[in-house]
Amino acid sequence: MKVRSWYGISGEIEVENELWHLVRVGSVALNHPPLINLLLRRRLPRDERLRLSYLHEFGHFQTLPLALSHALWVFWAAYGQRRSLLGWFAWLTGFVVAHEAVWEFLSEGYVLIHDGAAYREIYRRTPNPLVPAFWFVMSGVGVALTAWLIRTGD
């Protein structure tokens, strides 16, 4: 499905099954396993699972400016910090995990905001203990690692 974000970027999203998703912007294509969607959508009816997965992937498009702002803020805060080579490796690893947590949180937040009461009703009908765990873990990891990343270097 062709999509256009609120800030003007056009792309394509394919969510045809539970094993692989495709997100394409221009000539850059990202085929990826939908790990977060597999956890959050398990046991949902197929139509709901695919619809929410599509909204989640579209959420990545829609929240890209926020995700980039997070990345730039963390890099700006780290600029000039002194670290050993191993310290920078640990910092970069932490950055990747924090950024992924923040962006997944933002993208699922888009789904919740876009779908509103229907989102809550779907999970009321088909409870999934991984949904509240996702919100707790992603927010905790995003905040804790971001705080660690922007502290002064070693």
Is residue 51 a contact partner of residue 59, using CB atoms and an 8 Å limit?
no
- On the question of pLDDT at 17 being above 90, the answer is no
Percentage above 70 pLDDT, the chain? 96
Q: What is the pTM of this model?
A: 0.89
Helix residue spans in the chain (DSSP H) = 35-40, 46-62, 64-78, 85-115, 117-125, 130-150
Question: Residues 36-41: what's their mean pLDDT?
Answer: 90
Question: Residues 5-10: what's their mean pLDDT?
Answer: 90
- The residue segments making up the domain with residue 139 are 35-150
- What confidence score (pLDDT) does residue 40 get? 93
Is residue 71 a contact partner of residue 106, using CB atoms and an 8 Å limit?
no
The answer to whether position 47 is within a domain reads yes
Q: What is the DSSP letter of 86?
A: H
- What confidence score (pLDDT) does residue 105 get? 96
The answer to whether position 89 is within a domain reads yes
Question: Residues 60-65: what's their mean pLDDT?
Answer: 91
The answer to whether position 18 is within a domain reads no
The answer to whether position 123 is within a domain reads yes
- Report the range of poorest mean pLDDT among 16-25, 81-90, 97-106, 112-121: 16-25
The answer to whether position 82 is within a domain reads yes
- What confidence score (pLDDT) does residue 153 get? 60
54: helix, coil or strand? helix
Whats the size of the chain, residue-wise? 154
Question: Residues 118-137: what's their mean pLDDT?
Answer: 95
Read off the amino acid at residue 24: R
Percentage above 90 pLDDT, the chain? 62
Q: List strand residue ranges (DSSP E) for the chain, in order.
A: 2-4, 10-15, 21-25, 28-32
The answer to whether position 8 is within a domain reads no
Is residue 65 a contact partner of residue 137, using CB atoms and an 8 Å limit?
no
The answer to whether position 30 is within a domain reads no
- What confidence score (pLDDT) does residue 141 get? 97
Cα(17)–Cα(127) distance, integer angstroms:
21
